[in-house]
Structure 1
């Protein structure tokens, strides 16, 4: 059975509970187990995604939020990972248009209906994007999340490593041992290049 990791950025615990319930009901009858984590602060969300990855991030957009706005957090997440599935939730459908700027999968209106949660869950499961291992690297003072599956090879020149992916070359100064520890066959590819 698949485990789908969903991270929710929502400062209102009651709203987060209703959202989680809608997704749990939507998952009934599917061969998937949900792991839903609610974050009330942007920093804890970012740390969690960096450490554990995520299959779907749902961000709340509130008119008078005390915390960092979900759209701003989504823009930061897009700098890390351009393919990370994002969705927004709000009590006002006027915000839906903002999802296009960060390629959000969907926009949910509170209170979230089980049918809407099921539709989004289906989109994530059908995309095949879930369960992709990734490493986090700092390149040119920007933190990026690089899916391991997209890494073609890595080369090392003195203290600098260049990670070659299917769509970009990423220079970084991380230790080669950290790249090799990320798995996914990177160790053998990088060793061949360096040997």
Structure 2
């Protein structure tokens, strides 16, 4: 038994309050899940939170469609749950002409966020998860690069992979810095 302002409460009440508090926190924060990175060739990258989509999360293993698993980029919030406060959806699009993928938190960049709809050769596939649009404690920038000759988009938290974060500058293997796609954990 415990007492608060003259009211007496048993442990069962305390446990229920604790459970509800944890549930409220989870609704506010959401559930973190890994953002996996795959590559097919040097310029085709796929990012997903569903390890079963390609069928492997074993370093260096090749899964469906010839994609090779490269590792976890970081963590984002699960799109299957409620959208956590202060986050934006991270949309995935497929270019139906060249098979490249584009990721953005602004669906207006393409013009649709409806599954299967194609605009300017880009087909909306899914909301991969939720990320922060601005830096938050314990988050990392997810850098966005674009290769003009290959029409390829690349995302990483490591500046060293491409070697630049100067707007418009071209880094390693011809990727041009586009900006920060969002912030992940």
Normalised TM-score (structure 1): 0.25
Higher helix fraction: Structure 1 or Structure 2?
1
Larger Rg: 2
Normalised TM-score (structure 2): 0.26
Higher strand fraction: Structure 1 or Structure 2?
2
